Amino acid sequence: MFDVYFLIVMLMDLGRFTIGLSSGHKFYVGESDGWVLTPSEDYSHWSHRNRFQVNDTLYFKYVKGKDSVLVVSEKEYNTCNTTHPLTSLSDGDSIFLLSRSGPFFFVSGDSGNCLKGQKLAVKVMSMVHHSHTHRHPPSPSPSPTVSPVHPALSSPAPSPRVDPSDSGVLSPASGPSAAVRSSAGSVGPGVVSLGLILVIMMSSMV
| 163-184 residue pLDDT tens | 444 444 344 444 444 333 433 3
- For residue 64, the enclosing domain spans 25-134
Rounded to a whole number of angstroms, the CA Rg of the chain reads 30
Using CA atoms, how far apart are residues 171 and 152, in angstroms rounded to an integer? Answer: 19
Closest CA to 29 of 78, 1, 62, 71: 62
Is the pLDDT higher at 89 or at 142?
A: 89
Whether the per-residue pLDDT at 125 is higher than 50: the answer is yes
Q: Quick one: pLDDT at residue 195?
A: 56
Closest CA to 57 of 9, 104, 20, 25: 25
Whether residue 180 lies inside any domain: the answer is no
Q: Quick one: pLDDT at residue 86?
A: 97
Whether residue 18 lies inside any domain: the answer is no
Whether residue 40 lies inside any domain: the answer is yes
Whether residue 161 lies inside any domain: the answer is no
| Mean pLDDT, range 80-106, rounded to an integer | 97
Whether residue 10 lies inside any domain: the answer is no
SS3 category, 124 = strand
Residue 58 banded pLDDT, cuts 50, 70, 90: very high
Domain total in the chain: 1
Whether residue 8 lies inside any domain: the answer is no
Specify the CATH number for the domain of residue 98.
Answer: 2.60.40.420
pLDDT more than 70, % of the chain = 50
Q: What is the pTM of this model?
A: 0.55
Whether residue 198 lies inside any domain: the answer is no
Whether the per-residue pLDDT at 202 is higher than 90: the answer is no
Whether residue 83 lies inside any domain: the answer is yes
